[in-house]
Structure 1
Amino acid sequence: MTKELTINSERLWNSLQELARIGAYEDRATGLTGVNRQSLTDEDAEGRRLLIDWLRDAGLAVTVDQMGNIFGRREGSEPDLDPVYTGSHIDTVSTAGAFDGCLGVLGALEVVRSLNDRGSTTRRPIVVAAWTEEEGVRFGTDMLGSAVAAGRLSLDYAHALADAAGKTLGDELERTGFKGEHPVLLDPPHAYVECHIEQGPVLLREDTQLGVVTGGQAISWQRITLGGRAAHAGTTPTELRIDAGLAAARIVVKVREMVDSGDYGRLRATVGHIATSPGLPSVVPDRAELTVDLRNPDDGCMVAAERDLAAFLETLPESQPGLAVETRRMARTNQVPFSGEIQNLIATSAEELGYSTSHLMSGAGHDAQEIAAITPTAMIFVRGQYDGVSHNPREYSTPEDCAAGVRVLAATVEKLAS
């Protein structure tokens, strides 16, 4: 029997903390140190260079594709076999913790380091992947690098996406030196496994150590722009106003009513961005911009929610004649089931190592959902603390729980690669 891989939990933890220092900032709301390392910023480029150094130090052959996706390949004894991929992302939202995405990439690196420590070679190659712009906060489309690699989105579409300052992703790839020459369309690997902090409270509340992820729910992002008419706040009669701010508020209330109604299954809806102009206390807003994030584990319920929200948006000018309403789709994915075979492999590996597990669907979007279109895929969730809060400096998982997730990742990847 092959000796169990020994994960160096201290090395894993130190790697997580070292990467978290890149883009670190002091968060006023929490009083904690957070991470702001958005995709293709200078901070992200610095984090990428550190990761590449670590991959090469581990003996991996590093390639960067046309989307800036980073791959470190550990050769197998039969290099012509399709490889096993494992990884995640290192880009963050602007108010992040140290674990979202990073645990999956550095956990995959620790798997390779542990194989090196044991002096083992798997039959299949193993590839550590770090995908570009998973968060979608800078260029407006989440899971972007993996979506292009899997063929759902085109390279030209992705390169043309621009941030709030008008800088395109293609130009930022050039500027940071990460516009690689390796073709972006991925040859389907043998399998893909991703380890990730849960970003929710289920495992903690159930007192369960690890999650076997059954799939990801449908996600819909859209940006809504409302055009009104600026006017004096004190002198303009209410009936003569075209108030874009009022229309935005009605949308916020509407999406919450949709959730509370129960008519759309387990719908979740969030207005995460809202802005008005000219933004003055004495002027009726002539423009409002907001985003609506819808999530649903049922594709049919998601379609119904999108349809009814669109119908509501069409009624807004009825109460304010002259109001202009424009919508733009930012991202849209259906519910994605993960491989039952790999789920079973994860559950078996966890049981053999003495860890308790629960099966649960992911509420967040992950690169695994994109790669599932081209190869058998599954995920391991690691328990978070503080009710599983994420996208916040309070995001935290213990060294012991991180090590548990990566031990199961190592066992699963080694079985798949052997």
Structure 2
Amino acid sequence: MTLVPEINGERLLGRLDAFARIGATPAGGVNRQAFSVEDRSARRLLAELALERGFAIFQDGIANLFIRREGSDATLPPLLIGSHLDSQPTGGRFDGALGTLSAFEALEALEDAKAETKAPIEVVAWANEEGSRFAPGVMGSMAFTGADTAAWKSIVGSDGASLATELEATIAALPEARLRSTGMPISGYIELHIEQGPSLEKERMPIGVVTAVQGTRWLEVSIEGTAGHAGTTGLAYRRDPMVAAIAAIHRLQTTIMPLDTSARLTVGRIAAQPGSINAIPQSVSFTVDLRHPQPERLDAIEAEVREVCAAEAEAQHCTATIKRSFDMPGAAFSPDMVKIIEDAVSSLRLPHKQMISGAFHDALFIARVAPAAMIFVPCRDGLSHNEAEYVEPANAVTGARVLLQAAIAAASPR
């Protein structure tokens, strides 16, 4: 008799603890950066767990790791479920790992119940989602969906390591995994992830059903003035780029987000040259991270940033130069896949809310080649990319239960 597949919460939480010990930091987080020794150890553990259950394992040329459970119809493309295992240098134990290990638990639950799905289901651990050691991030999903990776061969990491060398070593460290070409037809993709924001926790909502990922654009602003002595240069003679930069940032912070609740504007880095305490800077540079779900609004916000920076620079007799360094269009997820997840939530009698993701994830790229959607669970105080990142055990198990039900429905269409 076939049993009803059920998530084994104790097993899932134990796996989260086990993986958190790989690259553990003294403050309770993890340092498991992409293609590192720690990353290889996590991949090794997941592969060994998969082989113990009789699942087939594969990896591709960018070190995406796949764990396959066969379906009743071998001609159907697989459904992918998963996330990533790499972390920030001082990252949390749930970012990525929760989605990957919940996906593996879903496979185990199906195996425990001897349940059959029509399509195969594959757990995927995407390579280098974070991009903290080797930029850009989301390398694995970008390569999977056909990105040109030729330039990546020359990338050097933040620690001086060669990406090509570390990638080769990572693939070689798992010889049990059969090598497959990067990219293949899939029937869909579902990713479970922590929200990385406070709204679900604040609203006491156990599940967020993600309908889209907002677009992201990075700008590098440089304002040029004239270096001068701090004590001898009067106001009338100053061409001070720091004054212009501060004025521009202040104007943008008081208009962009207050007037558009869907907009995000962040100045994350600022530097002055020559950087002397007693000298007017020659130049000031800063970065601007822009995000919005609507591409036309993102264009309008960028135009406003350019206009404001130019105006404030001119007011100080300086010049402003702005370069776009990164542009990642957003994506709307498949309505059909969103409905599958919402039906799974309803079948478990759980409340939920629809959400737009403010962060980009591997699902953003997979949505361009197959039906995809995401499930969010709350994290304490919205903290992520932080060693204090925490997900209540009950919420972790609930997310895995939704993922299991959604995966069964998506892999066995009526």
**TM-score normalised over the length of structure 2:** 0.87
With over 3 angstroms needed to count, the CA separation of the structure-2 counterparts of 1:300 and 1:110, relative to structure 1, is same
Q: Is the 8 A contact 1:58 1:112 kept in 2?
A: no
- 1:190 is aligned, of 176, 183, 187, to 187
Asked if 1:203 corresponds to 2:200, the answer is yes
- Give the whole-Å Cα distance in 2 for the aligned partners of 1:9 and 1:400: 8
- The answer on 1:118 being equivalent to 2:116 is no
Unaligned runs of 5+ in 1: 27-31
1:272/1:322 Cα in 2 relative to 1: closer, same or farther (>3 Å)? closer
Aligned equivalents of 2:19, 2:229: Cα separation in 1: 50
CA contact (8 A) 2:223 2:318 kept: no
- Return closer, same or farther for 1:323/1:21 CA change in 2, 3 Å cut-off: farther
Q: Any idea what SS the aligned residue of 1:213 has?
A: strand
Equivalent position of 1:356 in the other structure: 351
1:267 aligns with 2:263: yes
**Is 1:394 matched with 2:388?**
yes
CA contact (8 A) 2:4 2:115 kept: no
Moved more, 346-355 or 136-145: 136-145
Classify 1:19/1:236 alpha carbon distance in 2 versus 1 (closer, same or farther; 3 Å).
farther
Residue 305 (1) aligns with residue 301 (2): yes
Report the counterpart of residue 173 of structure 1 in structure 2. 167
Aligned residue for 2:51?
A: 56
Amino acid at match of 2:111: N
Moved more, 252-261 or 58-67: 252-261
Task: Compute the displacement of 1:33 (Å).
Answer: 1.9
Structure 1 distance, partners of 2:255, 2:169, is 43
**What secondary structure is seen at the aligned counterpart in 2 of 1:188?**
coil
Deviations for 1:145-180, whole angstroms, at most 9, x for unmatched residues? 2122112x3111444444445655334323544699
- The aligned counterpart of 2:286 is 290
Q: Percent identity?
A: 37
| Unaligned segments of structure 2, at least 5 residues | none
What is the CA–CA distance in structure 2 between the aligned matches of 1:266 and 1:194, rounded to whole Å? Answer: 23
Question: Any conservation in 1 of the 2:223–2:313 contact (CA below 8 Å)?
Answer: no
Give the distance between the partners of 1:38 and 1:249, measured in 2 at CA: 34
Relative to structure 1, the CA distance from residue 345 to residue 160 in structure 2 (aligned partners, 3 Å threshold; closer, same or farther) is: same
The residue number in structure 1 matching 2:403 is 409
Which segment is superposed worse, 341-350 or 275-284? Answer: 275-284
Deviations 1:269-312 (A, max 9, x none): 11223344554434544555533211112222111011222333
Of residues 240, 252, 261 in structure 2, which corresponds to 1:255? 252
Q: What is the root-mean-square deviation in Å for CA atoms of aligned residues?
A: 2.9
Whether the 8 Å CA contact 2:252–2:308 is kept in 1: the answer is: no
Task: Mark the CA change 1:94 to 1:165 in structure 2 (over 3 Å): closer, same or farther.
Answer: closer
Q: d(CA) in 1 for partners of 2:266 and 2:396?
A: 29
- Structure 1 segments (4+ residues) deviating >6 Å: none
SS at match of 2:370: coil
TM-score by length of 1: 0.86
Q: Give the letter aligned to residue 298 of structure 1.
A: Q
Aligned equivalents of 1:244, 1:41: Cα separation in 2: 41
CA drift at 1:95: 3.1
Query: Aligned partners of 1:287, 1:174: CA distance in 2, in Å?
Result: 41
Q: Residues 219-271 of structure 1: CA distance to partner in whole angstroms, max 9, x if unpaired?
A: 21234455666655445556666655555544533431342451x56211112
The CA deviation at 1:102 is: 1.1
